[in-house]
Structure 1
């Protein structure tokens, strides 16, 4: 299975994200001339299995939509590698063998896909790619779960692409956007430009640490984030000098004070996203709460796949 395969036309996407405490589901409907409508944002708590997925599929009208399974941060690796000088049809094979000494598991046990990183026409930089690699031991059980539940799985997605989908909605003409979100598996920094993903970076700071009631420990996490952001954005500007980052957007969350702290320590403008500014939430009024937005943020982003190519 391709991780990012092209879709046939259906009534949008349904994201299914598996978590320790159940399944998170989200569905978005794009609307001409209007904000996309969030049709569904639902948490189904409990054990994950065939019966639970069958029930979720019935309740969420899965047969009417493309279904994508969203991987968690620890279930794959995303790597930036130099593009091999081979024909396009040979790219995956060439990349696979280049990964032999990079992956922390045997390359023959990997499912891989590649994503182009477009360069400016005048750039002299070496063409590079994002390579996404997941163990077959992660991908195959996920496929089997959907197969046994009789749910047609059209794609398997990753958080970077889900976050890119939302970041792309915020891009000013001709400029890029950096976006930083936090969850149980840490922070995720991405940069998008012209709807393409250019940077992916994981931060070892979890949402729980940012909600730490102890003021000193919380601000230690703020300091760590600030330093990592400064390093990452400085390196990005050197590598992609043709991209001007307009702003840093923090994903929705109940964390207080981080946007002000970063604004006072970074030269890049900082703002916190409220999904109500991008989406019609009339069918999901519970998402007026930023804590709920954070819970469904990446699942919603993955549900924006409609209209994408491979």
Structure 2
């Protein structure tokens, strides 16, 4: 079965990609250039507001005004486009894994499995102990939804090569901040919501969605904002405690919060006083050379584009 283009298919060697997201508020795109020394360079970044525009109009504009046609296009799905299931490993040979997963997924989705495409990631478990506690992540998308996205790109004559998800984009960012031999927790927010991930050794081990958006955090109502802080803190403690029990061989070095402007500092202070982990605010300039895109000196702009830049970093990150 599997996704028709392979959700996490490896890119052609040295082929540059344009990461594209049809977001809630508009069309995001980004591309980076990798060099043998130094940070990857953010070469291109754009945002076309949705307003009353139809997606075909915005994609045609992207095809006309940007280098997208000269690159492999990567479509980053939104959280409501697909389902993400963490599950125990199956004791079957690798070549039988997908067929075995069909039966497991049949019970988890509310439409016929024959109408779905899916891909699977392996969470390595304890690498020092023969992969003990290995687990799986299945990403499922309805074929109707997948075809809709593919047709939009085909109509705009944009070469769609890869379909990816925000969890993997955040992995691409997180692995560049890891301390060797330690895990790294990362918490980001945008207009779609919050996302907590933990990576270790370049692999994604944990992913949790939070229904709190960057807009919620930016409210001027202090009581509402503090209530959001409390919910975030409780969810982090619950998720990271569970992670520590499940993966007691991983020591998480710190929690990195995505750049959000002034509110990120307030959130960092709140979390630092309620958690056992050091809490830092991400500086995107530690991960990517931003010199060509001066607007990203603003932390708020960094936060808005973080996920699409993470998707663009996939080219060098290990594809699964």
Normalised TM-score (structure 2): 0.92
Structure 2 residue 81 is the aligned partner of structure 1 residue 72: no
- The unaligned stretches of length 5 or more in structure 1 are none
- The unaligned stretches of length 5 or more in structure 2 are none
1:60 Cα deviation from its structure 2 partner:
2.3
Counterpart Cα distance in 2 of 1:176 and 1:60? 37
Structure 2 residue 311 is the aligned partner of structure 1 residue 302: yes
| Aligned match of 2:277 | 268
CA contact (8 A) 2:133 2:247 kept: no
Equivalent positions of 1:58-97 (< 5 A) are: 58-97=64-103
1:290 Cα deviation from its structure 2 partner:
1.1
Counterpart Cα distance in 2 of 1:48 and 1:54? 10
Q: How has the CA–CA distance of structure 1 residues 32 and 142 changed in structure 2, closer, same or farther, with 3 Å as cutoff?
A: same
1:279 Cα deviation from its structure 2 partner:
1.4
Structure 2 residue 244 is the aligned partner of structure 1 residue 237: yes
CA contact (8 A) 1:16 1:25 kept: yes
| Aligned match of 1:128 | 135
CA contact (8 A) 2:88 2:134 kept: yes
Across the aligned residues of Structure 1 and Structure 2, the Cα RMSD in angstroms comes to 1.5
| Aligned match of 1:106 | 112
1:125 Cα deviation from its structure 2 partner:
4.2
- SS of equivalent residue, structure 1 residue 31: coil
Structure 2 residue 13 is the aligned partner of structure 1 residue 4: no
* 2:221 corresponds to which of 207, 214, 239: 214
CA contact (8 A) 1:15 1:26 kept: yes
Q: Which moved more, 1:244-253 or 1:124-133?
A: 124-133
1:108 Cα deviation from its structure 2 partner:
2.1
Q: How has the CA–CA distance of structure 1 residues 263 and 166 changed in structure 2, closer, same or farther, with 3 Å as cutoff?
A: same
Q: Which moved more, 1:46-55 or 1:144-153?
A: 46-55
